[in-house]
Homo-oligomer: A and B are copies of this chain.
């Protein structure tokens, strides 16, 4: 296989020579890659009768247990009404537990139940496997570049939020 794919977007010295065509190809790569990225979780979710919105909720509740609905809204970037429908079904099905805040009783703190944690694990296992395979195929330097471009592509607010979330990452 061609190991230099994408390298024609660069000159040897490191200066960027990107044609409009090449930039659009980057967009297409993003589109097709995102499809691959969601394919495995989508299959698992379909079996459980859930969709991507449920996946996102489960994922972020799993990573930050006790988070409030409002917090989740800011991360997911949807309306509270839309999120509420998703949360309601997850709570009804016993995957998520909602506890009224002790300090502020308006707030609901969200936790995964054991069942919810099991689905979370199954989904994140699949996603990790895909990421790991892609990283291995692309090589270590590629991973650094990948992360840099992704972060630069985020809206500034999201980038800030993302980097705040990343704090705990360093071993």
Contact = CB atoms under 8 A, between A and B. Distances in A.
A147 B9 CA distance: 10
Contacts of A170: 8
A57 to B, nearest CB: 12
B147 A134 contact: no
A86 to B, nearest CB: 16
Interface string A107-135: 00000000000000000100110111111
Interface in A50-100: 56, 59, 63, 77
Contact of A169 (B16, B22, B35, B133): B22
Interface string A1-39: 000011111100011101111111111111111111101
Contact of A56 (B18, B31, B158): B31
